[in-house]
Structure 1
């Protein structure tokens, strides 16, 4: 079936109940008790419905919590009840939810919710507090019918209110009992495999129409799609006029979104010259996590030829911005996203996203520079305005981006404090020039307190640490958020008025802006960086070098977390 309406469960499907673990750890000594409590809450909600009795889900939750306390000899105080109720009303969204909902909405599905929770009285709903309210046409509560899911009347009532047939609807839930009830009412059922949930393989039981690992996977299964195909118009592509055929090139294309086997080798038309753009004969390119996400279909945009950066030789340049045969680097400008990228013998990119990089360095070393060093340099010397003698903290310093930032900062005369989650990597960071290395944790500001003033922080861990980064800065200091090694979960309840110290600065940088007005790639001294590498002033040796025929192995190493630095592919 192809649904028109997706009806989402809220608790655990969209909102993460593990956010309640600290409250349950305080009550029972173990945060894992939240699942015991939630399971009992669902059980007794069904019991009340079967017994023609009703009380709202929040009140029932408090009663179940008291019951568990009595069973296990734990006194439940009014403060405990308030903490759990407040936590239940302010749970954050799972990391995949906002992206998945946006993609489903963009595909044309109507999105609504059906929750066991009662409606909010005059204030924001839990979905609105989690930043998800904009995605939904309606938020239905079982409180209207005074029965709990999976009573079939609830699902039919939602379809009726929306003016559609039950067969036009699909229930999206992390609980098999919810999909069973919806399917018994004529809905389709999509089971989202949140932790602790799985299909019920019972004979005669409706099985989910779709089983998905998360909402992004659900998008792919409901709306099978592949990357955007960007092909040159064939000129005289006919057997009768072979001299007029468009020249072809070898390329690695994403045949479909998925695993390593999605990357295949084929011949496609070579990009043709175009005014304001540069055709580059690709000699090497870096391997980036963005390309892994594009291959999986987890990126908002993906061209069939991936690759967001390259180095090579100018093959054609109708506008004259670069001479033919010049060595250049190219970065972003839609590469691998909206236009074919660098996983090919040739690519074409806007001139604003190309920079000269004349050097006698081998292509393997030049290929390690563009994205990593352009981004690190911009963060350090444009966003943070780093100068010699300043003290800089680099969080997430063992990533290829982090290592490049350490090298550039040390070369500029800054004193670098670097962090890593792994103490085994300390020696490597010290060899790069870090004056001090610390274990990465959210209390780093406390551990650095009382020492030297911190002038700047380059935070590559992300939203989970940026507030701690702001806490460690001196007055006038700056933090730059430029990576998300710690995940994409949003910063909860961030109020600058209450949370930021006066006189500190927060900025953000994403390399996708290169080539846009105000961010020309020519602003980055890639030529000078290459000279420093060639003269031995800066070390930029790639951690692994692969041939063009080894792209699947390169992606495997990246996915396994075995890169150990910047990996590159060289085209002979």
Structure 2
């Protein structure tokens, strides 16, 4: 019988800084209490949230900290019995990687409420790309936009992982999908996942969108941030809805916000910021099943190992990815 290990490797951030500020260290494996789950991490996705933390832009983070707002793996221990040992699970959000250590490690200990079970034969790298990406895309469509079959949607920031996941879900719903990229070389990747109209984002695309959709899209997902939000609002029809979900630009506030002057007449502005509870287990399982059957795909751009965490973060910051970056442990 093999004895359980007592230590693990983890990527630790002592203070904000460049990618080189992330250091691999050997730490004790956490001991879970009732209400917690110890997970043997097999893979985790990289997210803009973690980039914000590393750059010192996030609030409420204490250091040193193991980053990572998501992870996938197997249950190693669950004192309360909510999950069986060996169960495949995803963990995400709930201050993971902010006020307690997150997924950038071989093990992570998280509250039960942040854990979602699943069963899949997909490889761990593919699975690692899904949780936060799917939760954000699904929540934006359902909570933020209340999107309906047959509607049109503009995705601003289309080659981000969330943008691509949203396009895939919207296509499954029979929506007409318009999606943006600043890089013409990335247009083919959007067409490949079912985007109907790929728009080269010059910063001002509202006129083009309104011409393509006879007056504006029904729904719009803003993933770039406040620099493009006014133009996204102008691209939306009367009584259409814009959901502010992302801030790829690292800009998320509007100075001197005056709603009557800022919002076009009759256009509604919503926002979405979700948690694990916004991704039902059956939705996660259904999506993984469609991927396994070949009827959907995961926009996975590149896979790194934990030893390559500095390189992975530098790549994340470079904005070269078309889809999700994943690290396996």
When normalised by structure 1's length, the TM-score is 0.53
Q: Give the drift of 1:445.
A: 1.9
After TM superposition, list the pairs within 5 Å mapping 1:19-98 onto structure 2.
none
Deviation at 1:570, TM superposition (A): 1.1
Q: Which residue of 1 aligns with 2:301?
A: 543
- Measure how far apart 1:397 and its partner are: 0.3
Partners of 2:162 and 2:193 lie apart in 1 by 13
Matched, 1:560 2:323: no
Does the 8 A contact of 2:165 with 2:299 survive in 1? no
1:462 maps to which of 225, 233, 236 = 225
1:462–1:485 CA contact under 8 A, matched in 2:
yes
How far the C-alpha of 1:409 sits from its partner, in A, is 1.0
Q: Distance in 1 between the 2:36 and 2:145 partners? A: 31
Deviation of the 1:391 alpha carbon? 0.6
Q: Which stretch of the first structure deviates more once superposed, 266-275 or 471-480? A: 471-480
Aligned residue runs from structure 1 range 108-507, under 5 A: 247-300=6-59, 301-303=61-63, 304-450=65-211, 451-452=213-214, 453-488=216-251, 490-507=253-270
Gaps of 5+ in 2: none
Residues 325-350 of structure 1 deviation map (CA, whole Å, 9 limit, x = unaligned): 11000001111100011111111111
Write the distance in 2 (CA, Å) between the matches of 1:284 and 1:438: 33
Query: By percentage of residues, which structure has more helix?
Result: 1
Per-residue CA deviation, residues 12-71 of structure 1 (Å, 9 max, x unaligned), is xxxxxxxxxxxxxxxxxxxxxxxxxxxxxxxxxxxxxxxxxxxxxxxxxxxxxxxxxxxx
The 1-side partners of 2:240 and 2:157 are apart by: 19
Map Cα deviations across residues 107-166 of structure 1 (whole Å, 9 max, x no partner): xxxxxxxxxxxxxxxxxxxxxxxxxxxxxxxxxxxxxxxxxxxxxxxxxxxxxxxxxxxx
Distance 2:203 2:256 in 1: 17
Residue 291 of structure 2: which of 514, 517, 533 is its match?
A: 533
Cα distance per residue 1:423-442 (max 9 Å; x no partner)? 22222211111111112244
SS for the counterpart of 1:375 is helix
Q: Secondary structure at the match of 1:290?
A: helix
RMSD (Å), alpha carbons: 2.1
Report the structure number with the largest CA radius of gyration. Answer: 1
Q: Within 2, Cα distance between the matches of 1:489 and 1:540?
A: 27
Task: Quote how far apart the aligned CAs of 1:276 are.
Answer: 1.4
Give a deviation string over 1:405-430, Cα, whole Å, max 9, x none. 11111122111011111222222211
Q: Give the distance between the partners of 2:51 and 2:255, measured in 1 at CA.
A: 28
The structural deviation recorded for 1:463 is: 1.1
**Cα 1:316–1:485 shift into 2, 3 Å:** same
Equivalent pairs counted in the alignment come to 321
Q: Give distance in 1, aligned partners of 2:17 and 2:249.
A: 23
How far apart, CA to CA, are the structure 2 residues paired with 1:404 and 1:489? 21
**How far has the Cα of 1:524 moved from its partner?**
7.3
**Aligned residues of 1:533 and 1:539 also touching (Cα < 8 A):** yes
How much does 1:352 deviate?
1.3
TM-score for the superposition, normalised by structure 2:
0.90
Tell me: CA distance 1:373–1:268, structure 2 relative to 1, closer, same or farther (3 Å): same
Question: Is the Cα–Cα contact under 8 Å of residues 417 and 436 in structure 1 kept in the other structure?
Answer: yes
In structure 1, runs of 5+ residues without a counterpart are 1-245
1:294–1:302 CA contact under 8 A, matched in 2: no
- Alpha-carbon separation, structure 1, partners of 2:262 and 2:39: 48
**In structure 2, how many angstroms separate the alpha carbons of the residues matched to 1:428 and 1:520?**
28
Q: How far does residue 464 in structure 1 lie from its aligned partner after superposition?
A: 1.8
In structure 1, distance between residues paired with 2:16 and 2:187: 37
Contact 2:139 2:279 in 1 (8 A): no
Say whether the 8 Å CA contact 1:374–1:524 is kept in structure 2. no
- CA deviations over 1:212-237 (Å, ceiling 9, x no partner): xxxxxxxxxxxxxxxxxxxxxxxxxx
